């Protein structure tokens, strides 16, 4: 069964005028996986008991690939990304799974070893560039601190040269002026580009971008996405991009992973998944995207809100909000099954052996 979101797929964004996702290569053998997550489970202990933020998540990022991780707020996207860095906030705790980066299981490494990977092998861009930058220090001072950690072999002059080179690479025509500025003297887009420059300071193999265009206007969003695409194309940089914006993911990613309730609901080639979503949640997300060709059209919405999930919860996580749910959805957890070449979805309606209404 295919869930047709008015037949239009994800709405085109301004970024798609600069990026053509179909031109990106999706080649890569399974053994070319730079990041391979399997069975990742993260619990939070709350006053109401244990809440499972991430449940048995599996995903991989190949070398030179852009993977989009999408879902509503509270779906487990950021916790999954922070798990890779060993930065799950308290009282969260990884209780199961493997996170293999370049053939090393990060969950078996001591904190000192993981700290060496942060910034050097794995770069990170946070949701808020202004919150990530210290308002009390000039950009050059903050970049110098980053370079001290990521490139300890450089002396003061070398760090200054590297900072200037990074700013030029990120499109700043006057890097000296930018380096001398405080964050409040720069626009949101400039601050985001500086955060990207700092994330690239250690020449990482993997860049994790957590909502990199949040709070930016449409034109600046397009610039940031074009920049990330260029870094991927020129440097072969693997990128895990976290977003709730399907149009953004459609514009830049090779593959997509859709999360809800801390579980993978659908995954596959971005063009295939968004052209004909197989899971009701993916279809519902697409129906809620504004269509510029019909600006006065009433938007669809998903009723209800995401709820905390206990570890022993039965049934489909999306069932309480799904218009296609039937009895088994409330009592039996669906498996993530292969529904076509490269596309997997977690839904009882896709099980040929399940009696449907």
Tokens found for residue 99:
């996170």
The predicted structure's pLDDT at residue 247:
86
Superfamily per CATH, domain 14-121+204-350? P-loop containing nucleotide triphosphate hydrolases (3.40.50.300)
pLDDT tens, residue order, the chain (357 aa): 444 433 344 444 444 444 444 344 444 445 689 999 999 999 999 888 899 999 999 999 999 999 999 999 889 999 999 999 999 999 999 999 999 999 999 999 999 999 999 989 999 998 888 889 999 999 999 999 999 999 999 999 999 999 999 999 888 999 999 999 999 999 988 999 999 999 999 999 999 999 988 777 888 888 888 889 999 999 899 999 999 888 889 999 999 999 999 999 999 999 999 999 999 999 999 988 877 777 777 778 888 888 878 888 889 999 999 999 999 999 999 999 999 888 999 999 998 877 566
The predicted structure's pLDDT at residue 23:
40
Q: Is 258 helix (H, G, I), strand (E, B) or coil?
A: strand
C-alpha–C-alpha distance, residues 274 and 283, integer Å: 8
Mean pLDDT of the chain: 87
Tokens found for residue 223:
């610039």
Can you give the residue ranges of every domain in the chain? Answer: 14-121+204-350, 135-192
Q: Is 123 helix (H, G, I), strand (E, B) or coil?
A: strand
The predicted structure's pLDDT at residue 356:
60
The residues, ordered by sequence, that sit 6+ positions from 223 with a Cβ below 8 Å of its Cβ are 189
The predicted structure's pLDDT at residue 15:
46
C-alpha–C-alpha distance, residues 34 and 181, integer Å: 36
Q: What's the length of the chain? A: 357
The predicted structure's pLDDT at residue 19:
44
What Rg value do the Cα atoms of the chain yield, rounded?
21
Tokens found for residue 23:
């031109």
Residue pair 27/89 in contact (Cβ under 8 Å)? The answer is: no
Q: How far is Cα of residue 302 from the mean position of the Cα atoms in its chain? A: 21
Tokens found for residue 196:
């990207």
DSSP annotation of 118 reads B
DSSP annotation of 153 reads T
Q: What is the pTM of this model?
A: 0.88
The predicted structure's pLDDT at residue 49:
86
């Amino acid at each position: 069964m295919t869930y047709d979101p008015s037949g239009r797929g994800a709405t085109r964004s301004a970024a798609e005028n600069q990026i053509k996702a179909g031109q990106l290569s999706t080649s890569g053998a399974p053994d070319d996986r730079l990041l391979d997550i399997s069975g990742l489970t993260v619990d939070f202990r709350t006053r109401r008991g244990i809440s499972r933020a991430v449940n048995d998540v599996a995903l991989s990022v190949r070398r030179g690939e852009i993977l989009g991780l999408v879902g509503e707020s509270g779906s487990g996207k950021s916790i999954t990304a922070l798990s890779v860095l060993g930065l799950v906030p308290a009282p969260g705790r990884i209780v199961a799974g493997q996170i293999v980066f370049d053939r090393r299981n990060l969950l078996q490494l001591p904190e000192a070893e993981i700290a060496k990977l942060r910034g050097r092998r794995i770069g990170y861009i946070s949701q808020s560039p202004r919150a990530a930058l210290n308002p009390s220090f000039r950009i050059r001072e903050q970049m110098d601190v980053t370079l001290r950690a990521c490139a300890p072999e450089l002396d003061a002059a070398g760090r200054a040269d590297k900072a200037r080179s990074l700013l030029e690479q990120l499109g700043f025509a006057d890097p000296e002026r930018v380096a001398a500025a405080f964050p409040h003297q720069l626009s949101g887009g400039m601050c985001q580009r500086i955060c990207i420059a700092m994330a690239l300071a250690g020449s990482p193999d993997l860049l994790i971008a957590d909502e990199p265009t949040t709070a930016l206007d449409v034109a600046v969003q397009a610039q940031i996405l074009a920049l990330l695409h260029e870094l991927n194309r020129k440097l072969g940089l693997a990128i895990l991009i976290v977003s709730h914006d399907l149009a953004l993911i459609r514009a830049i990613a090779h593959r997509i992973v859709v999360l809800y309730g801390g579980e993978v609901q659908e995954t596959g080639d971005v063009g295939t998944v968004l052209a004909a979503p197989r899971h009701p949640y993916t279809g519902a997300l697409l129906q809620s995207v504004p269509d510029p060709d019909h600006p006065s059209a009433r938007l669809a919405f998903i009723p209800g809100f995401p709820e905390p999930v206990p570890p022993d919860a039965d049934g489909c996580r999306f069932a309480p909000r799904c218009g296609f749910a039937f009895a088994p959805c409330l009592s039996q957890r669906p498996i993530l099954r292969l529904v076509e070449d490269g596309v997997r979805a977690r839904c009882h309606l896709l099980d040929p052996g399940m009696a449907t209404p």
